[in-house]
Structure 1
């Protein structure tokens, strides 16, 4: 009869964007009447199509939005996954003479694009500490996003820096992508307080995703070690040697003192102090009594920073032969220091002695 000719099927959506985890609504309406036979929704067309809704089968994955209606076949698909991206068709079948369902009418298809948010970026650097002046690479990774176009920017503190390498590859799951972006930075001594930031933008995001990396995590600034030798010391006076360990990072450092190559028991060294730039400094002092047998002793300050090579500085103790105070001391010190005499040309030495005796006679 007549009414069969006016059967209409409407599938109005050309394209739908849906986010992972959301509910997809696929709209399809038909007019009343029409031949006997079910309405179904198919994912894909041709031999590899899948039935995702069947009016006769309540166990299918798509669920009807309006129950009990014979004209509204809009369906809901909950908790969408990236692999649900496809073209979906609303199809009316009719019972054929053979008893099978045959195609009667179908919609134009709705292209469903699934959007997935990128993960919060992760920034990784070298696995060991690096000294200023060296160049190191940092990588920013983010994954699980769809579609694949994504933008990434790097900043050092507030200044943009160019990334050297940017790769977008499929994965980890089907229909999603991962991003890897690498930047190289030459470390400076004052980078202790600096940070790198990786900023990711994607159509699914209202604001960019950011991840920062503090350069203090991988920077190692070796110390400068200064040991000032004390002047000559009078007999039995107490003399202090001070070892200045300057401008290092991180703060873990071990200071040991040696006397003529043998380790001294120095008691405890004070902990390091942080400077305004974020580096550390430390002063270690050892006190010795100037007994005659210590004359010419060599004292060594040995500094071990972060398990690197040892830094050491030496200073020699000169003890006056007799008496104390600077006058007696200097005379004794000059005479007891053969090096001073050996280095002088002979005639200067003789001239010096002549002048010395003349001076003594004049004094008398």
Structure 2
């Protein structure tokens, strides 16, 4: 394991030929000198400094880069003074297990509406051996990711993992959590990384409603109320228009969170029922998260001046279905009489 001290044993028989002893590490097609009896600057340390037969070495604070096959090699002096290979050991294979890094989780850059798909990627690196397992959970439910991608890391002694999962978001995912779980032989407990789906979820308003008013008396003060319902997150901009022109007299309190985790908002505009505003159209326009606006409108009906003193009763009479039906019948009968007289005149 990383940080431990590695002991590599090598014992030679006494009375061998004159020549130095070296430790070499071989990985792939290359080799590296770990200990050289003639070079005190080599970084392998003798366990027994004064022995002529025990060439055991110590490598402190090992890392994955120290993995490889180590050989204890005896050289002998030639007549020309050069060193030639005399004998070497069978080699010791060293594998350094490395713990994976804490996972990272990448998410979509933009918010996603319910019914749309969103992809998430879990990454970890620096582990050895390459055998690693990853699981994804949405809350406590296991979900199936794409096949994980395990590749050699920045160094040839470690590996990296990338795992991606795609989920279809729902409106009630505001309270859901996505979790990536990594298991490896070096771990006593899995590593996890979680993500709250509300961080990328965008639920547009389900309704924008302006409550209509019946006819009102002249010079009465009336209120139009706009309800913006069922949106997330709670940032919404409400604008009021009178006959298409923006007005600034609206009152818009902060959104209120519902038990489902969504938001709703109520905005009110107060209007004086003067004659000039008769049949004016008041529109509430809501813009959520910079998306296309949603709107709803209602018309202001101002009663005739002669009905001002009976504004309450007049409003009820004008809004009475029976009264409107009688007026329609009168007009229909008058139309039939005029039509009959016209036909007689033609004859």
Q: Is TM (by shorter chain) over 0.5?
A: yes
Q: How many residues align?
A: 332
Instruction: Give distance in 2, aligned partners of 1:147 and 1:332.
Output: 84
Instruction: Give distance in 2, aligned partners of 1:333 and 1:162.
Output: 60
Q: Does 2:166 align with 1:181?
A: no
1:320 maps to 303
Shift of 1:110: 0.5
2:50 maps to 68
2:70 maps to 88
2:275 maps to 292
SS of structure 2 residue aligned to 1:233: coil
SS of structure 2 residue aligned to 1:231: coil
2:212 maps to 229
Instruction: Give distance in 2, aligned partners of 1:235 and 1:284.
Output: 24
2:134 maps to 152
Structure 1, unmatched stretches of 5+, are 1-17, 352-364
Instruction: Give distance in 1, aligned partners of 2:18 and 2:226.
Output: 99
Q: Does 2:108 align with 1:122?
A: no
Q: Does 2:233 align with 1:250?
A: yes
Instruction: Give distance in 2, aligned partners of 1:259 and 1:215.
Output: 39
TM-score by length of 2: 0.86
2:184 maps to 202
Instruction: Give distance in 2, aligned partners of 1:269 and 1:58.
Output: 80
Q: Does 2:78 align with 1:78?
A: no
Shift of 1:278: 1.9
Measured against aligned partners, the alpha-carbon deviations of 1:231-267 in whole angstroms (never above 9, x if no partner) come to 2222222211111111111111110111111111125
1:5 maps to none
SS of structure 2 residue aligned to 1:29: coil
Instruction: Give distance in 2, aligned partners of 1:344 and 1:134.
Output: 56
Instruction: Give distance in 1, aligned partners of 2:142 and 2:175.
Output: 17
Shift of 1:150: 0.9
Whether the 8 Å CA contact 2:127–2:159 is kept in 1: the answer is: yes
SS of structure 1 residue aligned to 2:172: helix
Instruction: Give distance in 1, aligned partners of 2:114 and 2:329.
Output: 43
Instruction: Give distance in 2, aligned partners of 1:29 and 1:165.
Output: 48
Whether the 8 Å CA contact 2:215–2:318 is kept in 1: the answer is: no
Segment of structure 1 superposing worse, 22-31 or 141-150:
22-31
Shift of 1:329: 2.7
Instruction: Give distance in 1, aligned partners of 2:162 and 2:171.
Output: 28
Shift of 1:164: 2.1
Whether the 8 Å CA contact 1:131–1:219 is kept in 2: the answer is: yes
Shift of 1:281: 1.3
Q: Does 2:328 align with 1:346?
A: no
SS of structure 2 residue aligned to 1:163: coil
Q: Does 2:292 align with 1:309?
A: yes
Instruction: Give distance in 1, aligned partners of 2:258 and 2:231.
Output: 10
Please show how residues 275-290 of structure 1 align to structure 2 within 5 Å: 275-290=258-273
Whether the 8 Å CA contact 1:254–1:303 is kept in 2: the answer is: yes
Cα distance change on mapping 1:334 and 1:236 into 2, 3 Å? farther
Instruction: Give distance in 2, aligned partners of 1:92 and 1:249.
Output: 74
Whether the 8 Å CA contact 1:195–1:213 is kept in 2: the answer is: yes
Shift of 1:45: 9.1
SS of structure 1 residue aligned to 2:115: coil
Instruction: Give distance in 2, aligned partners of 1:184 and 1:249.
Output: 21
Whether the 8 Å CA contact 1:334–1:340 is kept in 2: the answer is: no
TM-score by length of 1: 0.82
Whether the 8 Å CA contact 1:153–1:160 is kept in 2: the answer is: yes
Instruction: Give distance in 2, aligned partners of 1:47 and 1:332.
Output: 98
1:12 maps to none
Aligned mate of 1:44, from 21, 26, 41: 26
CA RMSD after TM alignment:
2.9
Whether the 8 Å CA contact 1:320–1:332 is kept in 2: the answer is: no
Cα distance change on mapping 1:260 and 1:96 into 2, 3 Å? same
Instruction: Give distance in 2, aligned partners of 1:39 and 1:105.
Output: 10
